[in-house]
Amino acid sequence: MEQLKGKAIFGQVAIGKLFFYSKEKQQVTRKKVEDTDAEIKVYEEAKEKAIEELSALYDKALKEVGEVNAQIFEVHQMMLEDEDYNDSVHNLITSQNVNADYAVAVTGDNFSKMFAEMEDEYFKARSVDVKDISERVIRILNGGMDMANLEEPVIVIAEDLAPSETVQLDKEKLLGFVTELGSSNSHTAILARTMNIPALIGIKGDASWNGKTGIIDGANGTLIVDPDEETLEEYKKRLLEEEKQRKLLEQLKGKDSVTTGGKHIKLYANIGNVSDLASVISGGAQGIGLFRSEFLYLESDDFPTEEAQFAKYKQVAETMGDKKVIIRTLDIGADKQVDYFNLPKEDNPAMGYRAIRICLKQQDIFKTQLRALFRASAFGNIAIMYPMIISVDEVLKIKEIAEEVKEELKAEGIPFGEVEQGIMIETPAAAMISDLLAPHVDFFSVGTNDLTQYTLAIDRQNAKLDDIYDAHHEAILRLIGMVIDNAHKNGIWAGICGELGADTTLTKRLVDMGIDELSVSPSMLLRVKKAIRES
Amino acid sequence: MKQFNYVITDEVGIHARPAGNLSKLCKGFASKVTIEANGKSAEATKLMAVMQLGAKKDTEITVTVEGDDEENAANEVEAFLKENL
């Protein structure tokens, strides 16, 4: 049994098999093998398993991303069955008495070099495919599992997970995750909270943990590897206890989120994908206060088309019926990077070319999204929210573009509904001039994560600063108070969609300040409802 | 022995997927199918070797079929090339 201390992201318990995810090439060492026939059998079995995996990936991709994108997995299967490749592996094992993974590594290197030396770009690029199939077989030979194709629920251990990697994860098979890097405010952390998944950061993983049993204790930020019988029993009891608590909260379902003073607070949910809708509905949210549209861009290999976006927005609008769905326009940049945007690396991306700044410069991207959003508004109660605003000028420009889009749709005879348009208050500038912004918009939603990082001058990706990142800082609370007052003076509503909205130690204070709406992770809905009812 | 020439019309050339399908097709024949291009030759059943011919658009390839079912095999390979490459 081994105990490691980290920082908890989501304070609950998870018990399960550990899965070590490594981006680096796997280490292969040459070993002498006596029984070469047996070693060839080991290779053949691993190869069969790799082909099975690829075939499953092909089916999955076919359903999710279509035939063209799925083809690569079929090609990989064919390459693994290539005679020359297999002859080379067999030969190395028998003639040099080496282990199967070493033979595969050498063969993979040789074949990938042959392709890399070719002139034509297409054929050159196939060297990556050869490496890929070889690494798949080596991983299987070393007893590893496939991240995108997990067979059983696991706790994922990784150095770090990029948002583009977390979207690949099969959420059904994810019990929890433990990363070495990342701060408690990174997007991976937010994802953990959204998905209701216990997670720890600041723990360095070890490949030898693969397949061992592990426990995440989210209450005190501990990871226990290979627990003894007694510890395991204790945590199993804790899991049952948490389950019981959850059931108690369930009783609040269907009850109003109304304060002791009789004020109704709109309790909405934050989501990042269509697949989160089930948890919104089961959590009893009155609407969606923040639907991050980035997933459409992160999941795709190229700019998502108007039709593709429209289909998703429509699905959400229809699923939520007459309940409000606030969709935030593209918030790419900073720690959320997408290859095909071709954004140059910046020294200070949090203050760089991101979100609405991209949309106002590359208006074709923005217009495509707005067209999809307005079209979807005919099928439900959609509102649009714009991120990273710093000036009235930006808001006026945005509204002008939105008007153009509406005119175009009208001219084309395409229906759209009434759409509320609001802005996120996540820069100190926007908070300070909220009196000037309010006349031009329908609502304010405070993004407390960015507002905190900009106000306190603390990079939320910098784990070293986690201890002074004080979300309860008086400066933040005063800014929020100012935003609420300016909203009410202009007859619009103000809410919070940042992490602070789910902080139940602050609910009473926010209610006293006059907050109209709180939008929180689906997993926090009932807990926040409880806090509102006690305020 | 049967032999014929064919000029590649596919934009990318003999790329992975058709090369894989060609290899599957040729594994079903008793005859040996060889493809020559750019001064190199490869057995059609060997996907990676065929790709390494580097046969791009407008490359002329020579296909040689030798064996018991060469007549039928040559016809099928030619039909495959016309349809896919």
Q: For residue range A458-478, list pLDDT tens digits in order.
A: 988 888 888 888 889 999 999
Residues with Cβ within 8 Å of B6's Cβ and at least 6 positions away in sequence, in order, are B60, B61, B63, B78, B81, B82, B85
The pLDDT value recorded for residue A348 is 86
- Determine, yes or no, domain membership for A29: no
B16 and A130 within 8 Å at the Cβ level: the answer is: no
Q: Is the pLDDT of residue A69 over 80?
A: no
Structure confidence at residue A330 (pLDDT) = 95
Choice among A76, A90, A359, A497 that is catalytic: A497
Residue A254: inside a domain, yes or no? no
Count of domains observed in chain A: 3
Q: Which CATH number belongs to the domain containing residue A68 in this structure? A: 1.10.274.10
| Joined tokens for residue A191 | 């994802």
Q: Under a CB-based contact definition with an 8 Å cutoff, are residues A18 and A234 in contact?
A: no
Report whether A489 contacts A438 (CB < 8 A): yes
Is the model's pLDDT at A180 over the cut of 60? yes
List the structure tokens of A353. 């070319």
A296-310: b or e for each residue (b if 16 or more CB lie within 10 Å)?
A: bbbbbeebbebeebb
Residue A64's pLDDT band (cuts 50, 70, 90): low
Cα–Cα distance measured from residue A86 to residue A101, given in angstroms and rounded to the nearest whole number: 13
Confidence category of residue A99, pLDDT binned at 50, 70, 90: very high
Quickly state the pLDDT bin for A168 (edges 50, 70, 90). low
pLDDT class for A149, splitting at 50, 70, 90?
low
Residue B48: list chain A partners with CB under 8 A: 79, 82, 84-85, 111, 114, 130
Residue among A25, A520, A6 nearest A266 (CA)? A520
Give yes or no for residue B71 having a pLDDT over 80.
Answer: yes
Is A30 part of a structural domain of the chain?
no
CB atoms within 10 A of CB A150: 17
Pairing of strands B32-37, B60-66: antiparallel
Q: How far apart are CA A312 and CA A376, in angstroms?
A: 9
- % of chain A surpassing 70 pLDDT: 93
Residue B15 designated active-site: yes
B26 touching A, CB under 8 A? no
Distance from the Cα of residue A131 to its chain's centroid: 28
- Nearest by CB to residue B48, choosing from A71, A85, A120, is A85
pLDDT band with cut points at 50, 70 and 90 for residue A115: confident
How would DSSP label each residue in A436-451? HHGGG-SEEEE-HHHH
- Residue ending a domain, among A86, A110, A141, is A141
Question: CB count, 10 Å around CB of B41?
Answer: 15
Residues A402 and A325 in one domain: yes
**Which of A141, A157, A176 is the endpoint of a domain?**
A141
* Residue A338: predicted pLDDT: 82
Q: Which amino acid is at A356?
A: I
Asked whether the beta carbons of residue B48 and residue A130 sit closer than 8 angstroms, the reply is yes
What angle separates helix A363-376 from helix A392-411, to the nearest 10 degrees?
60
Q: Please report where in the chains the tokens 């229906």 appear, as a residue.
A: A415
Instruction: Extract the tokens encoding A262.
Output: 């009789």
Residues A137 and A222 placed together within one structural domain of the fold: no
A328 and A282 belong to one structural domain = yes
- Residue A490, pLDDT above cutoff 80: yes
CA–CA distance, A356 with A425 (Å, rounded to integer): 13
Is there a contact between A149 and A53 (Cβ–Cβ < 8 Å)?
yes
Q: Say if residues A474 and A482 touch (Cβ distance below 8 Å).
A: no
- ipTM value: 0.88
Put simply, whether B82 touches A (Cβ < 8 Å) is no
pLDDT tens, B17-63?
888 889 889 988 999 999 998 888 999 998 888 988 888 888 899 99
For residue A153, what pLDDT is reported? 87
In terms of CA atoms, which chain B residue is nearest residue A108?
B48
Q: Tell me, what's the pLDDT at A402? A: 97
Amino acid A148: pLDDT? 59
pLDDT in tens, A23-43: 655 678 888 888 989 999 999
* A502, A472: one domain: yes
**Which CATH number does the domain housing residue A188 bear?**
3.50.30.10
Residue A175 lies in a domain: yes
pLDDT classification of A10: cutoffs 50, 70, 90: confident
Give the chain B residue whose CA is nearest to the CA of A121. B12
Is A227 part of a structural domain of the chain?
yes
Which residues of A are less than 8 Å from B17 in CB distance?
71, 74-75, 78
**Chain A interface disruption, residue of B14, B48, B59, most A CBs within 10 A:** B48
Using pLDDT thresholds of 50, 70 and 90, give the confidence band for residue A103: very high
The pLDDT value recorded for residue A145 is: 62
A378-425 pLDDT, tens digit each? 999 999 999 999 999 999 999 999 999 999 999 999 999 999 999 999
- State the Cα–Cα distance between residues A341 and A219, nearest whole angstrom: 39
Apex CA B80: angle with CA B74 and CA B81, to 5°? 90
> Would an 8 Å CB–CB cutoff place B40 in contact with chain A?
no
pTM score of the predicted model: 0.60
- Across the interface, do B46 and A83 touch by the CB < 8 Å criterion? yes
Has residue A483 got a pLDDT over 80?
Answer: yes
Token pair 């599992």 in the structure block, residue: A145
A497 an active-site residue?
Answer: yes
Q: How far is Cα A207 from Cα A20, in angstroms, rounded to an integer? A: 6
pLDDT confidence of residue A464: 86
Higher pLDDT, A74 or A454: A454
**Does residue A31 fall inside a structural domain?**
no
Say what the pLDDT of residue A487 is.
98
Q: In what order do the strands lie in the sheet with B60-66?
A: B2-7, B60-66, B32-37, B40-43
Domain holding A77, by residue range, is 36-141
Long-range contacts of A222-226 (CB under 8 A, 24+ apart): A222/A3, A222/A4, A222/A5, A222/A6, A223/A3, A223/A4, A223/A6, A223/A178, A224/A1, A224/A2, A224/A3, A224/A4, A225/A1, A225/A2, A225/A3, A225/A4, A225/A18, A226/A1, A226/A2
Q: What is the pLDDT of residues A187-230, one digit of tens each?
A: 667 667 766 788 898 899 888 888 899 999 988 889 999 999 99
Q: Which of A255-259, A458-462, A517-521 has the highest mean pLDDT?
A: A517-521
Domain match, A234 and A286 both: no
The residues, any chain, with a CB within 8 Å of residue A67's CB and separated by 6 or more, are none
Tell me if chain B has a CB within 8 Å of the CB of A130: yes
Residue A510: count other Cβ atoms within 10 Å of its Cβ.
Answer: 24
User: Cα angle vertex A150, ends A141, A144, to 5°?
Assistant: 20
Across chain A, mean pLDDT equals 88
Please determine, for residue A167, whether its predicted confidence score (pLDDT) is greater than 80. no
A229 with A174, same domain? yes
**CATH code for position B64:** 3.30.1340.10
The token pair that represents A372 in the structure block: 């999809």
> In this structure, are A57 and A171 located in the same domain?
no
Nearest to A226 by CA among A211, A237, A238, A241: A211
Q: What is the CA radius of gyration of chain A?
A: 26
- Tell me the two tokens of residue B25: 């097709």
**Which residue in A492, A509, A482, A471 sits closest to A184, CA to CA?**
A471
Indicate which of B22, B23, B46, B47 best probes the interface with A, i.e. most A CBs within 10 Å of its own CB: B47
Quote the minimal CA–CA distance from A51 to chain B in Å: 14
Range of the domain at B53: 2-84
Cα A36 from Cα A38, distance rounded (Å)? 5
For every residue of A367-405, DSSP letters joined together read HHHHHHHHHHGGGSEEEEEE-S---HHHHHHHHHHHHHH
What is the nearest CA distance from A129 to chain B, expressed in angstroms? 10
Least confident stretch, A115-124, A220-229, A344-353: A115-124
How large is the average pLDDT for residues A503-527? 94
Q: Which of A253, A303, A302, A297 is nearest to A273 (CA)?
A: A297
B6: which 2 tokens? 């064919």
Q: Given A177, A212, A246, which residue is the final one in a domain? A: A246
Residue-wise DSSP of A60-75: HHHHHH-HHHHHHHHH
Neighbour order of strands in the sheet with A154-158:
A2-5, A222-225, A213-217, A13-21, A154-158, A174-179, A199-201, A7-10
What is the domain-level CATH number for residue A506? 3.20.20.60
Residue A300: is its pLDDT beyond 90?
A: no
Residue A271 lies inside a defined structural domain of this protein: yes
Smallest Cβ distance to A82: which of B17, B47, B56?
B47
Do A45 and A251 touch, CB atoms closer than 8 A?
no
Residue A157 has pLDDT above 70, yes or no: yes
Q: Angle, nearest 10°, between helix axes A67-80 and A121-141?
A: 70
Number of structural domains in chain B? 1
